[in-house]
Amino acid sequence: MRRASLLLLCLLGVACGDRRPATGLDVSSALGGEAAAGFARASEPRRFAFPEDHNAHRAFRNEWWYFTGQLATADGEGFGYQVTFFRIALAPAAPGRSSAWATRQVWMAHVALSAIDAGAHWHGERFARAALGLAGQQARPFRVWLEDWQVTGGEGGSFPWELAVATEDFTLALSLSPERDPLLQGDEGLSQKSAEAGNASYYYSITRLATAGAITVGGERHTVTGRSWLDREWSTSALGADQAGWDWFSLQLDNGADLMVYRLRQKDGSTDRHSAGTLLGADGRRQALAAGDFQLQPRRWWRSEDGTRYPVAWRLQVPGAGLDLRVEALLDDQVMDTAVRYWEGAVSVAEADSDRTLGRGYLEMTGYRP
Protein backbone atom coordinates (compact mmCIF):
# COMPACT_ATOMS: atom_id res chain seq x y z
CA MET A 1 0.00 0.00 0.00
CA ARG A 2 2.11 2.85 1.32
CA ARG A 3 5.36 2.13 -0.50
CA ALA A 4 4.39 1.00 -3.98
CA SER A 5 4.30 4.62 -5.14
CA LEU A 6 8.02 4.71 -4.52
CA LEU A 7 8.55 1.37 -6.21
CA LEU A 8 6.82 2.40 -9.41
CA LEU A 9 9.11 5.36 -10.05
CA CYS A 10 11.29 3.34 -12.39
CA LEU A 11 8.20 2.15 -14.23
CA LEU A 12 7.26 5.78 -14.76
CA GLY A 13 10.53 6.82 -16.34
CA VAL A 14 13.07 7.51 -13.59
CA ALA A 15 16.52 6.65 -14.91
CA CYS A 16 17.61 3.68 -12.84
CA GLY A 17 21.25 3.85 -11.81
CA ASP A 18 21.07 7.55 -10.92
CA ARG A 19 21.63 8.30 -7.24
CA ARG A 20 19.47 11.43 -7.34
CA PRO A 21 16.63 11.30 -9.91
CA ALA A 22 14.36 14.23 -10.68
CA THR A 23 11.59 14.84 -8.17
CA GLY A 24 8.03 15.91 -8.74
CA LEU A 25 5.96 12.72 -9.01
CA ASP A 26 2.89 12.53 -6.81
CA VAL A 27 1.57 9.47 -5.04
CA SER A 28 -1.69 9.15 -6.97
CA SER A 29 0.01 9.13 -10.37
CA ALA A 30 2.78 6.80 -9.20
CA LEU A 31 0.47 4.25 -7.57
CA GLY A 32 -2.46 3.79 -9.91
CA GLY A 33 -4.87 0.88 -9.93
CA GLU A 34 -4.13 -0.41 -13.44
CA ALA A 35 -2.14 -3.63 -13.52
CA ALA A 36 0.11 -4.65 -16.39
CA ALA A 37 -0.92 -7.88 -18.08
CA GLY A 38 1.05 -10.92 -17.05
CA PHE A 39 1.69 -9.99 -13.43
CA ALA A 40 0.03 -11.79 -10.52
CA ARG A 41 -2.42 -9.81 -8.41
CA ALA A 42 -3.41 -9.98 -4.76
CA SER A 43 -7.08 -10.93 -5.13
CA GLU A 44 -7.80 -13.50 -2.41
CA PRO A 45 -6.24 -14.74 0.84
CA ARG A 46 -3.27 -17.06 0.49
CA ARG A 47 -1.38 -19.44 2.76
CA PHE A 48 1.75 -17.83 4.21
CA ALA A 49 4.81 -19.88 5.08
CA PHE A 50 7.90 -18.77 7.02
CA PRO A 51 10.75 -18.33 6.54
CA GLU A 52 9.98 -18.84 2.81
CA ASP A 53 7.83 -15.70 2.51
CA HIS A 54 10.71 -13.53 3.67
CA ASN A 55 12.06 -14.10 0.15
CA ALA A 56 11.03 -12.41 -3.10
CA HIS A 57 7.72 -13.01 -4.91
CA ARG A 58 8.76 -12.27 -8.47
CA ALA A 59 5.38 -12.95 -10.07
CA PHE A 60 4.23 -9.61 -8.64
CA ARG A 61 5.27 -6.22 -9.93
CA ASN A 62 6.48 -4.59 -6.67
CA GLU A 63 7.76 -5.68 -3.31
CA TRP A 64 9.64 -4.29 -0.32
CA TRP A 65 11.53 -5.14 2.85
CA TYR A 66 10.94 -2.14 5.13
CA PHE A 67 12.74 -1.66 8.46
CA THR A 68 12.19 1.13 10.99
CA GLY A 69 13.32 1.34 14.59
CA GLN A 70 14.29 3.39 17.60
CA LEU A 71 17.62 2.70 19.28
CA ALA A 72 19.58 4.20 22.16
CA THR A 73 23.05 4.17 23.70
CA ALA A 74 23.69 3.04 27.28
CA ASP A 75 23.49 6.67 28.45
CA GLY A 76 20.17 7.26 26.68
CA GLU A 77 21.19 9.03 23.47
CA GLY A 78 18.41 8.27 21.00
CA PHE A 79 18.32 7.44 17.29
CA GLY A 80 15.69 6.46 14.76
CA TYR A 81 16.47 4.66 11.51
CA GLN A 82 14.89 3.45 8.29
CA VAL A 83 16.28 0.93 5.78
CA THR A 84 14.14 -0.13 2.82
CA PHE A 85 14.75 -2.30 -0.22
CA PHE A 86 12.27 -2.05 -3.10
CA ARG A 87 12.02 -4.55 -5.95
CA ILE A 88 10.32 -3.39 -9.16
CA ALA A 89 9.53 -5.68 -12.10
CA LEU A 90 9.58 -3.92 -15.46
CA ALA A 91 7.98 -6.83 -17.32
CA PRO A 92 6.37 -10.16 -16.35
CA ALA A 93 8.92 -12.19 -18.36
CA ALA A 94 12.70 -12.08 -18.70
CA PRO A 95 14.01 -10.01 -21.62
CA GLY A 96 14.93 -11.85 -24.78
CA ARG A 97 18.44 -10.43 -24.92
CA SER A 98 21.80 -11.98 -24.15
CA SER A 99 23.39 -8.82 -22.72
CA ALA A 100 24.75 -9.14 -19.18
CA TRP A 101 22.84 -5.92 -18.42
CA ALA A 102 19.49 -7.39 -19.50
CA THR A 103 17.02 -7.74 -16.62
CA ARG A 104 13.34 -7.34 -15.88
CA GLN A 105 14.04 -6.28 -12.29
CA VAL A 106 15.25 -2.95 -10.92
CA TRP A 107 15.86 -2.07 -7.29
CA MET A 108 15.62 1.05 -5.19
CA ALA A 109 16.77 1.57 -1.59
CA HIS A 110 16.05 4.29 0.94
CA VAL A 111 17.99 4.74 4.18
CA ALA A 112 17.70 7.35 6.92
CA LEU A 113 19.01 8.19 10.37
CA SER A 114 17.53 10.61 12.91
CA ALA A 115 19.84 11.69 15.74
CA ILE A 116 17.19 12.74 18.22
CA ASP A 117 19.36 14.55 20.78
CA ALA A 118 21.40 16.31 18.09
CA GLY A 119 18.26 17.33 16.19
CA ALA A 120 19.63 16.05 12.87
CA HIS A 121 18.24 13.85 10.09
CA TRP A 122 20.09 12.32 7.12
CA HIS A 123 18.83 10.17 4.29
CA GLY A 124 20.04 8.44 1.13
CA GLU A 125 18.62 6.83 -2.01
CA ARG A 126 20.01 4.44 -4.62
CA PHE A 127 18.83 2.69 -7.79
CA ALA A 128 20.35 -0.31 -9.57
CA ARG A 129 19.55 -2.99 -12.11
CA ALA A 130 19.25 -6.59 -10.94
CA ALA A 131 22.18 -7.47 -13.19
CA LEU A 132 25.90 -8.13 -12.80
CA GLY A 133 25.39 -8.62 -9.06
CA LEU A 134 24.46 -4.97 -8.45
CA ALA A 135 21.20 -5.72 -6.62
CA GLY A 136 18.85 -8.58 -5.89
CA GLN A 137 17.51 -11.12 -3.42
CA GLN A 138 18.59 -14.68 -2.73
CA ALA A 139 17.34 -17.36 -0.34
CA ARG A 140 20.42 -19.47 0.42
CA PRO A 141 21.85 -17.83 2.34
CA PHE A 142 19.26 -15.10 2.76
CA ARG A 143 20.33 -11.78 1.32
CA VAL A 144 18.69 -8.60 0.02
CA TRP A 145 21.10 -6.03 -1.38
CA LEU A 146 21.69 -2.97 -3.48
CA GLU A 147 25.43 -2.54 -3.97
CA ASP A 148 26.94 -2.55 -0.45
CA TRP A 149 23.65 -1.80 1.34
CA GLN A 150 22.31 -5.16 2.46
CA VAL A 151 20.44 -7.36 4.91
CA THR A 152 21.69 -10.91 5.36
CA GLY A 153 20.47 -13.95 7.27
CA GLY A 154 20.47 -17.73 7.40
CA GLU A 155 19.22 -20.33 4.97
CA GLY A 156 15.91 -19.34 3.39
CA GLY A 157 15.52 -16.28 5.59
CA SER A 158 16.12 -17.58 9.11
CA PHE A 159 17.15 -15.12 11.83
CA PRO A 160 19.11 -13.26 13.08
CA TRP A 161 19.35 -10.78 10.22
CA GLU A 162 22.24 -8.38 9.84
CA LEU A 163 21.69 -4.88 8.41
CA ALA A 164 24.68 -3.07 6.92
CA VAL A 165 24.48 0.44 5.43
CA ALA A 166 27.21 3.00 4.81
CA THR A 167 26.58 6.53 3.50
CA GLU A 168 28.63 9.71 3.48
CA ASP A 169 26.82 10.83 6.64
CA PHE A 170 26.36 7.67 8.73
CA THR A 171 26.75 3.90 8.93
CA LEU A 172 24.50 1.23 10.43
CA ALA A 173 25.62 -2.24 11.51
CA LEU A 174 22.66 -3.86 13.27
CA SER A 175 21.59 -7.38 14.25
CA LEU A 176 17.84 -8.11 14.38
CA SER A 177 16.05 -11.04 16.06
CA PRO A 178 12.24 -11.37 16.24
CA GLU A 179 10.47 -11.18 19.59
CA ARG A 180 7.08 -11.94 18.01
CA ASP A 181 5.83 -14.14 15.19
CA PRO A 182 4.88 -12.57 11.84
CA LEU A 183 1.58 -10.71 11.99
CA LEU A 184 -0.71 -11.07 8.96
CA GLN A 185 -2.32 -7.72 8.19
CA GLY A 186 -5.78 -7.24 6.69
CA ASP A 187 -7.78 -10.37 5.86
CA GLU A 188 -5.28 -13.07 6.85
CA GLY A 189 -2.58 -11.20 4.98
CA LEU A 190 -4.69 -9.79 2.11
CA SER A 191 -4.74 -5.99 2.53
CA GLN A 192 -7.37 -4.31 0.32
CA LYS A 193 -6.45 -0.70 -0.52
CA SER A 194 -9.29 0.50 -2.76
CA ALA A 195 -12.61 -0.66 -4.20
CA GLU A 196 -11.27 -2.04 -7.47
CA ALA A 197 -10.79 -5.81 -7.53
CA GLY A 198 -7.12 -6.71 -7.19
CA ASN A 199 -6.11 -3.32 -5.77
CA ALA A 200 -4.55 -5.01 -2.75
CA SER A 201 -1.30 -6.37 -1.40
CA TYR A 202 -0.12 -9.35 0.57
CA TYR A 203 1.13 -7.81 3.79
CA TYR A 204 2.73 -9.05 7.00
CA SER A 205 4.75 -7.41 9.76
CA ILE A 206 7.16 -8.47 12.45
CA THR A 207 6.27 -5.82 14.97
CA ARG A 208 9.14 -6.36 17.41
CA LEU A 209 12.70 -7.24 16.50
CA ALA A 210 15.30 -7.01 19.25
CA THR A 211 18.04 -4.87 17.73
CA ALA A 212 21.67 -4.34 18.74
CA GLY A 213 24.75 -3.04 17.02
CA ALA A 214 26.51 0.19 16.15
CA ILE A 215 25.77 3.54 14.54
CA THR A 216 28.59 5.74 13.34
CA VAL A 217 27.90 9.41 12.66
CA GLY A 218 30.29 12.36 12.54
CA GLY A 219 33.21 10.00 13.02
CA GLU A 220 31.85 8.78 16.38
CA ARG A 221 30.76 5.17 16.93
CA HIS A 222 27.73 4.55 19.17
CA THR A 223 26.83 1.13 20.56
CA VAL A 224 23.04 0.91 20.53
CA THR A 225 20.14 -1.37 21.46
CA GLY A 226 16.41 -1.13 20.94
CA ARG A 227 13.62 -2.51 18.79
CA SER A 228 12.79 -2.51 15.10
CA TRP A 229 9.65 -3.13 13.04
CA LEU A 230 9.63 -5.00 9.70
CA ASP A 231 6.93 -4.52 7.05
CA ARG A 232 6.77 -6.85 4.05
CA GLU A 233 4.37 -6.26 1.15
CA TRP A 234 4.08 -7.42 -2.43
CA SER A 235 1.47 -6.42 -5.00
CA THR A 236 0.85 -5.34 -8.57
CA SER A 237 -1.63 -2.46 -8.06
CA ALA A 238 -3.10 -0.71 -5.05
CA LEU A 239 -4.42 2.86 -4.93
CA GLY A 240 -7.58 4.01 -6.70
CA ALA A 241 -7.76 7.08 -8.94
CA ASP A 242 -9.35 9.29 -6.26
CA GLN A 243 -6.84 8.48 -3.48
CA ALA A 244 -4.09 11.03 -2.76
CA GLY A 245 -1.90 9.49 -0.05
CA TRP A 246 -1.85 8.10 3.47
CA ASP A 247 -0.83 8.53 7.10
CA TRP A 248 0.66 5.32 8.50
CA PHE A 249 1.54 4.58 12.14
CA SER A 250 3.53 1.66 13.60
CA LEU A 251 3.58 1.90 17.38
CA GLN A 252 5.22 -0.32 20.01
CA LEU A 253 3.52 0.26 23.37
CA ASP A 254 5.19 -0.20 26.73
CA ASN A 255 2.41 -2.56 27.88
CA GLY A 256 3.52 -5.08 25.23
CA ALA A 257 0.88 -4.27 22.61
CA ASP A 258 1.67 -3.21 19.05
CA LEU A 259 -0.56 -1.01 16.91
CA MET A 260 -0.53 -0.40 13.16
CA VAL A 261 -3.09 1.91 11.56
CA TYR A 262 -3.20 3.77 8.25
CA ARG A 263 -5.55 6.45 7.02
CA LEU A 264 -5.95 6.52 3.24
CA ARG A 265 -6.79 10.07 2.15
CA GLN A 266 -9.07 10.94 -0.74
CA LYS A 267 -8.11 13.85 -2.99
CA ASP A 268 -10.90 15.91 -1.39
CA GLY A 269 -9.28 15.38 2.04
CA SER A 270 -11.77 12.84 3.35
CA THR A 271 -10.84 9.47 4.82
CA ASP A 272 -11.20 6.49 2.51
CA ARG A 273 -13.31 3.60 3.79
CA HIS A 274 -10.45 1.17 3.09
CA SER A 275 -8.35 2.70 5.86
CA ALA A 276 -7.52 -0.03 8.37
CA GLY A 277 -5.21 -1.33 11.04
CA THR A 278 -4.37 -4.09 13.50
CA LEU A 279 -3.92 -4.13 17.27
CA LEU A 280 -1.73 -6.99 18.51
CA GLY A 281 -2.12 -7.47 22.24
CA ALA A 282 0.65 -8.37 24.64
CA ASP A 283 -1.05 -11.79 24.91
CA GLY A 284 -0.81 -12.32 21.14
CA ARG A 285 -4.50 -11.69 20.44
CA ARG A 286 -5.05 -9.95 17.08
CA GLN A 287 -7.79 -7.33 16.65
CA ALA A 288 -8.49 -6.16 13.10
CA LEU A 289 -9.47 -2.48 12.83
CA ALA A 290 -11.73 -1.09 10.12
CA ALA A 291 -11.87 2.60 9.20
CA GLY A 292 -14.61 3.26 11.75
CA ASP A 293 -12.74 1.62 14.62
CA PHE A 294 -10.16 4.39 15.07
CA GLN A 295 -9.97 8.17 14.80
CA LEU A 296 -7.06 10.39 13.82
CA GLN A 297 -6.96 14.15 14.42
CA PRO A 298 -3.93 16.35 13.58
CA ARG A 299 -2.87 18.46 16.59
CA ARG A 300 0.20 20.32 15.33
CA TRP A 301 1.52 21.17 11.88
CA TRP A 302 5.07 21.87 10.66
CA ARG A 303 6.05 23.52 7.37
CA SER A 304 9.03 22.17 5.41
CA GLU A 305 11.41 24.30 3.36
CA ASP A 306 9.42 23.68 0.16
CA GLY A 307 6.25 24.99 1.81
CA THR A 308 4.58 21.64 2.47
CA ARG A 309 2.67 21.43 5.76
CA TYR A 310 2.87 18.11 7.60
CA PRO A 311 0.82 17.17 10.70
CA VAL A 312 3.62 16.16 13.10
CA ALA A 313 1.45 15.64 16.19
CA TRP A 314 -1.73 13.56 16.27
CA ARG A 315 -4.45 12.33 18.57
CA LEU A 316 -5.07 8.65 17.84
CA GLN A 317 -8.08 6.97 19.44
CA VAL A 318 -9.14 3.32 19.37
CA PRO A 319 -12.29 3.43 21.54
CA GLY A 320 -12.90 -0.32 21.46
CA ALA A 321 -9.46 -0.93 22.98
CA GLY A 322 -9.56 2.00 25.43
CA LEU A 323 -6.67 3.78 23.68
CA ASP A 324 -6.42 7.58 23.58
CA LEU A 325 -2.93 8.49 22.43
CA ARG A 326 -0.84 11.51 21.54
CA VAL A 327 1.67 10.65 18.80
CA GLU A 328 4.30 13.31 18.13
CA ALA A 329 7.44 13.61 16.02
CA LEU A 330 10.70 13.42 17.94
CA LEU A 331 12.09 15.72 15.24
CA ASP A 332 9.81 17.84 13.07
CA ASP A 333 12.10 17.69 10.04
CA GLN A 334 12.29 14.02 9.04
CA VAL A 335 11.47 14.63 5.39
CA MET A 336 12.69 12.09 2.83
CA ASP A 337 13.71 14.27 -0.11
CA THR A 338 13.78 11.36 -2.54
CA ALA A 339 12.22 10.66 -5.93
CA VAL A 340 8.83 10.96 -4.25
CA ARG A 341 9.06 13.43 -1.38
CA TYR A 342 7.48 12.12 1.84
CA TRP A 343 7.80 12.41 5.61
CA GLU A 344 8.88 9.43 7.68
CA GLY A 345 10.32 9.51 11.13
CA ALA A 346 10.53 8.51 14.76
CA VAL A 347 7.66 9.45 17.06
CA SER A 348 6.82 9.34 20.75
CA VAL A 349 3.57 7.89 22.09
CA ALA A 350 1.95 9.36 25.20
CA GLU A 351 -1.40 9.37 26.96
CA ALA A 352 -3.45 12.08 25.28
CA ASP A 353 -4.57 13.87 28.46
CA SER A 354 -1.60 13.43 30.79
CA ASP A 355 1.36 13.14 28.39
CA ARG A 356 2.45 10.01 30.31
CA THR A 357 4.82 8.10 28.04
CA LEU A 358 3.26 4.95 26.63
CA GLY A 359 5.60 3.86 23.85
CA ARG A 360 7.40 4.74 20.64
CA GLY A 361 7.15 4.14 16.94
CA TYR A 362 7.30 5.46 13.39
CA LEU A 363 5.01 7.63 11.27
CA GLU A 364 4.90 7.93 7.47
CA MET A 365 2.96 10.63 5.58
CA THR A 366 2.66 10.80 1.80
CA GLY A 367 0.72 12.85 -0.73
CA TYR A 368 1.06 16.24 0.98
CA ARG A 369 1.72 19.12 -1.39
CA PRO A 370 3.03 22.70 -0.99
Q: Flag whether pLDDT at 3 surpasses 50.
A: no
Q: Which CATH architecture has domain 4-37+49-365?
A: Beta Barrel (2.40)
At 13 the pLDDT is 36
Distance of alpha carbon 100 from alpha carbon 89, whole angstroms: 17
List, as own/partner pairs, every contact residues 311-320 make where C-beta atoms lie below 8 angstroms and the sequence separation is at least 24, other chains included. Answer: 311/247, 311/365, 312/343, 314/247, 314/249, 314/363, 315/352, 316/249, 316/261, 317/352, 318/259, 318/261, 318/279, 318/289, 318/293, 318/294, 319/293, 319/295, 320/287, 320/293
Q: What is the pLDDT of residues 152-205, one digit of tens each?
A: 999 878 899 999 999 999 999 999 999 999 999 999 999 988 767 667 899 999
For residues 138-146, average pLDDT: 96
Distance of alpha carbon 96 from alpha carbon 118, whole angstroms: 52
Contact between residue 3 and residue 233 where contact means Cβ atoms under 8 Å apart:
yes
At 35 the pLDDT is 53
For residues 255-275, average pLDDT: 92
pTM of the model: 0.91
For residues 41-70, average pLDDT: 94
Going by pLDDT thresholds of 50, 70 and 90, the confidence category of residue 25 is very low
Residue 43 — φ and ψ, nearest 5°?
A: -120, -15
Distance of alpha carbon 333 from alpha carbon 345, whole angstroms: 8
Please name the amino acid found at residue 283: D
Distance of alpha carbon 32 from alpha carbon 77, whole angstroms: 41
55 Cβ neighbours under 8 A, 6+ residues apart:
137, 139, 142, 156, 157
Q: Where are the domains of the chain?
A: 4-37+49-365
At 163 the pLDDT is 98
Contact between residue 79 and residue 115 where contact means Cβ atoms under 8 Å apart:
yes
Q: How far is CA 101 from CA 27, 134, 135, 216, in A?
A: 29, 10, 12, 34
